[in-house]
Amino acid sequence: MIPLFGRKLCTEVFPDLYRDDTAVMLCEKVDYDFSEMEKKSRSSFYRFGALEAAMRQLDIKWEIEDYLKENPNAAVINMGCGLDNTGRAVDNGKIKIYNVDFADIVEAREILLPNGDREESIATELSELSWLDKIDASRGAVFFAAGVFHYLTTEQVKRLVLEIGKRFPGARLVFDTVGRLGHKLMMKKVLKNFGITDVSGYFHVNNAEKELGDWSGNISLSHRGYMLGYYDLHTTGVTGFHRFLSRIGDGPMKMRIVRMDFS
C-alpha cells in the first residue's frame, strides 16, 4: 500500500514528471484506510519518499522500453509485482506480460487488475525457481524487480540471477539496489518489522562491479544513480531540498538501478 500511495501522490504532486492513473484508481477503489498516509503526505520528507518510488518506476520503465526497441515481441516479467502496472505502461501491443508474486497478491490482482489477453499471473515465491518454467522467452525477455530484492538474501538473488542467465540468453534483468549505509538506514528497520533480526545477509550492493561483476561470465553489467541517473528532476513540484536529498541517495546511500544483459 505504501508504494501504491506513493505513486498516486507523485501523480498529483509531480505531474510533469510522473503519471500513474492506475495507482490513482486503485487508491480510490481498494478497501484501505489511507488517512495516516494522507496526513504525512504534506511533509517534504514524505514527498521525497514518494518521489523515490516514482523515480524507481520511471528508471526501470526506461530500461524496459530500451530493450523493447530491439525486441518488440519480448516477454516483460514483473517480479514481485504487487499492484504495480508497469507491464501495461510499456505495452506496445505485441509483448507478453507476466506478473509474479505471492498467491494472495495474485488473487488481489485478479479482482482489481484482471489480466488482459497477453497477460499472465504466476503465484509463487521468487526463490522457488520452478516458476521460470512458465516464461516464454522465445522472442526475448526483460525481467525487472522494483523494491523487491532487498527482501531476499544475497544468495537467493544470486541463484535467481544465474538461473535467468542460464535459461534466457539474450534477456535483460533490471533491479534497484542500495549500498551498505542505505541498507542500514532504510531497510534494517523494515526487515525487523517482518521479524528478521539478522539483516547482514540480505541483499545490498556497495560496489556493483566488484560485488556482482564476477557472478557469471555471460553478464554484461551497468548501473546508474537511482534518483538522478536518468532524469535531472528540474520539474514542477520537485524542490531544491528534494534534489539535495537525491544527491545523498545516489551518493553516500549508493542507490542504483542495475542492468544485467545476458549473452
pLDDT of residue 194: 56
pLDDT for 178-232, tens place per residue? 998 878 776 666 656 556 666 567 899 999 999 999 999 999 999 999 999 999 9
Helical segments of the chain, H only: 2-13, 21-29, 35-40, 44-70, 86-89, 103-112, 154-167, 180-182, 188-193, 208-212, 240-250
Task: Express each pLDDT in 81-126 by its tens digit.
Answer: 999 999 999 999 999 999 999 999 999 999 999 999 999 999 999 9
Q: What is the pLDDT of residue 24?
A: 96
The share of the chain scoring above pLDDT 90, in percent, equals 87
Does residue 7 contact residue 23 with C-beta atoms inside 8 Å? yes
Closest to 95 in 3D by CA, of 65, 120, 73? 73
- Average pLDDT of the chain, as a whole number: 93
Q: What is the mean pLDDT of residues 133-156?
A: 96
Q: Which class would CATH give 68-262?
A: alpha beta
Number of other CB atoms surrounding residue 16 within 10 Å? 9
Instruction: Give the tens place of pLDDT for each residue, 165-178.
Output: 999 999 999 999 99
The mean pLDDT of 49-77, rounded to a whole number, is 96
Is the pLDDT score of 41 beyond 60? yes
Write down the pLDDT at residue 247.
96
| Extents of the domains making up the chain | 68-262
Cα–Cα distances in Å, from 147 out to 4, 95, 170, 176, 194? 12, 23, 24, 6, 15
pLDDT above 90: residue 139: yes
Helices (H), strands (E): how many in the chain? 11, 7
pLDDT given at position 32: 93
Residue 177 phi/psi, 5-degree rounding, is -140, 165
pTM of the model: 0.94
* pLDDT mean over 225-247: 95
